[in-house]
Structure 1
Amino acid sequence: MKIRLITGVSVVLASTLALTACGSKSDDAASDTKAAAPASSAPAAGALDALTGQQILDKAKTALKSAKSYHVAGSMTEDGDKTTVDLKIAGNDVIGFIQTKEGKIELLSVGSQRFFRPSSEFWTAQGADGKTIAQVIGKRWVKIDAKDTDTASMFAITNMEEILEPEGTVEKAGTKQIDGKQALGLTDTVEGKGGVLYVAAEGETYPLRLDGPTAADGSLAFTEYGETFADIKAPVAADVFDMKNLGK
């Protein structure tokens, strides 16, 4: 599974926001991660027994795509840099944040509109232009122009189906309990790049947790399937700054 898409997000965010800053003329609240641990050697249970690892992963990705909503939260670390993710996803709508060493960025997607809100620390990390933008925008949400594909690319982190895409052959890795649920582990044979994805072995084959290659790499937990997230709503006009106004 593509853990690197999580750990590499700070580079994507920094580059897109740096472009924003240059074009201008003017706490960690995630849930605790759980250490990656080897799965039990017990065989996979129930209806998944007869399926290959890839077939089970396909079922998990289909279940995730079909889910009305879910919450994904946790942290991943690469080369000593920690990236924390906390996202509530309901179809194409999203609310949450990403925390990197440079600061925090809140993301919001409602209908066809997308917004982001970096912390002052993140803007400052982008240099002098970033500091200027931080002063202009303040604590408002920044509305992304629908034609601005570069800035919109920061929402790639919300595409969990892509993150669950393997880079090698998927193999079963035994079963274990995840938050009281029987789960089956799936591994990616690309050494050092993948992790262990645990999916529900009973009921809907939902992803439950994605562990990094080692305990130090962190993990992401998938919870709250089917919940209604009332906080996913468009901000009021007074709390929005349109990116089209940058440089005016």
Structure 2
Amino acid sequence: MTAFPLARRTRRTLLVGAMCTGLAAGLAACGDDPDAGTNGVGRLEPGSIRSRTVEAARSADAVRLAGTVVSGGKTYRLDMRLKDEGGTGSVTTGGTTFGLLRVDEHLYLKAGADFWSHSDDAGARHGAGAGDALDGKYVKVPAGDPSYKRLSTFTDKDVLLDGLLTLHGTLAKGERGTSAGVRTIALTGDDGSGGTLDVSLEGTAYPMRLERAGGAGTLQLTEWGKDFALDEPTSADTVDYGKQLPES
């Protein structure tokens, strides 16, 4: 009388145990998937990842770019906010910091008294107190000035990103990690010697961090798509420097 119910209970216990084991295995498998809950970019081939992140960067309305760039034997520390209409922020090189503001085609430079005081040209144009007269004021950079093209590059989102988001050599996927709290996957050129780009695995596949090839600087790219004010300075904050600015 009791053998049949006992056998049935045993089979039911074994069945429930098997189901639980299978469920646990399935959960473990999900936990081991590095791309679970991501935008799926990590599953793509390296070339496709690069295409996706470059497209995302070009399509973004705005970005903040901060870090160092080594170019022409000089090291520049940048902290720039950029969008299609221009950009604003600061550049430090050779121990000197100056601000840049570009609104459409109008480019302005703002620096402290020390920056201008070290310029013989400034002294000739504005007298001994040139540094004080120009301190903290916006100086409009003439479009024909030799400095215009070089300085405006720091405020041009498309030009700057196209030049920076370049990896050299054979592309490969690297390690997964985080950048600014966002999960990322690394994209490398020649195992890192050609540069390393960390690409977001969350939301849009934006580039988040770049180590340039040959030790030419490291940059963080944040605030993608976050708009910011970009206005011409008032006449009270602007000083006419002259025909040509000093070399920075």
CA shift at 1:246, angstroms? 5.8
Partner of 1:106: 99
Partner of 2:46: 53
Asked if residue 92 in structure 1 is aligned to residue 93 in structure 2, the reply is no
CA shift at 1:85, angstroms? 0.9
Q: Which has the higher contact order (CA 8 A, sep 6+)?
A: 1
Partner of 1:219: 218
**Structure 1 segments of 4 or more deviating over 4 A?**
42-46, 130-134, 243-247
Change (3 A) 1:246 1:98: closer
Matches within 5 A, 1:223-242: 223-230=222-229, 232-242=230-240
SS at match of 1:64: helix
Q: Could you say which structure has the larger radius of gyration?
A: 2
Change (3 A) 1:54 1:123: farther
Partner of 2:189: 188
Change (3 A) 1:109 1:86: same
SS at match of 1:153: helix
Contact 2:173 2:185 (8 Å CA) reproduced: yes
How large is the Cα RMSD of the aligned pairs? 3.4
Partner of 1:24: none
Unaligned runs of 5+ in 1: 1-41
Contact 1:74 1:218 (8 Å CA) reproduced: yes
Aligned residues: 202
Partner of 2:10: none
Asked if residue 67 in structure 1 is aligned to residue 38 in structure 2, the reply is no
SS at match of 1:226: coil
Contact 1:102 1:121 (8 Å CA) reproduced: no
CA shift at 1:137, angstroms? 3.3
Same amino acid, percent of matched pairs: 26
* Whole-Å separation in 1 of the counterparts to 2:113 and 2:50: 40
Aligned amino acid, residue 164 of structure 2: I
Change (3 A) 1:243 1:171: farther
SS at match of 1:167: coil
* Whole-Å separation in 1 of the counterparts to 2:200 and 2:213: 20
Matches within 5 A, 1:88-167: 88-125=81-118, 127-132=119-124, 134-135=130-131, 137-148=134-145, 150-158=147-155, 159-167=160-168
TM-score normalised according to structure 1 size: 0.67
Matches within 5 A, 1:172-211: 172-189=173-190, 192=193, 194-211=194-211
Unaligned runs of 5+ in 2: 1-32
CA shift at 1:198, angstroms? 0.5
TM-score normalised according to structure 2 size: 0.67
SS at match of 1:165: coil
